[in-house]
Amino acid sequence: MENTEVDGGQLFLYEKQENKARALVLYASQIEAGEIKRMYHAIHLIDNTDFLSTLDNPKSYNDAKGGNDKFEIWRDVYQQDYVTNGVLEANIKPFEIGQAKSSIADLKEIAHDEVQKKYNQFATILRKYNVGGRENAFDKLVNLFLAKIVI
């Protein structure tokens, strides 16, 4: 996903050839304990008109002429937004991307090393933006995050 975030990578190169994709999906899988673990990032290339209406004179995917236009719109307008569900799940029909609402069934247990990684990412963000009282600010961020999960 790193190459995609930097310059569009191979995903956007494929999209440039046909220029009709509604979504780009970077997919990987591995077998753990005899089960297939699927991981993917899906980038929607259909404009979110509600979001665009909140911006001043935004570019949209409909305005894209070719070249790197769609990548630049994804990067600059949609801030490189992607989803990790709503494409390959059993309750999603083929080629009908999107899930109206996430459910408790979508939650996955997070390994300790992933928690540490997120903790370090939060700390990096706090340092980057000079948030004072890092411990207190971090606790507030975690509490808000957990409250959002519970609600």
Q: What is the value of pTM for the model shown?
A: 0.62
**Range of the structural domain that residue 139 is part of:** 109-151
pLDDT > 60? residue 151: no
Task: Answer yes or no: do 97 and 151 share one domain.
Answer: no
Q: Give the confidence band of 13 by pLDDT, cuts at 50, 70, 90.
A: confident
pLDDT digit string (tens) for 113-144?
A: 888 888 788 778 777 766 666 566 667 777 76
Task: Check whether residue 87 and residue 122 sit in a common domain.
Answer: no
Count the domains in the chain. Answer: 2
Task: Write the burial class of residue 45 (CB in 10 Å: 0-12 exposed, 13-18 middle, 19+ buried).
Answer: buried
Residues 24 and 80 in one domain: yes
Beta-carbon count within 10 A of 70 CB: 23
pLDDT of residue 91: 72
Q: Where are the beta strands (DSSP E) in 1-151?
A: 23-32, 35-44
Apex 142 CA angle, 137 and 145, nearest 5? 125
Domain boundary among 71, 86, 102: 102
Run of H or E including 11:
helix 9-18
Same-domain status, 45 and 82 = yes
CA–CA separation, 66 and 128 (whole Å): 35
Backbone angles phi, psi at 35, to 5 degrees: -115, 145
Interval 19-34: pLDDT, tens? 788 888 888 899 988 9
131 and 95 share a domain?
no
CA neighbor of 68 nearest in space, from 7, 21, 26, 1: 7
27 shares its domain with 91: yes
Question: With contact defined as beta carbons under 8 Å apart, do 46 and 69 qualify?
Answer: no
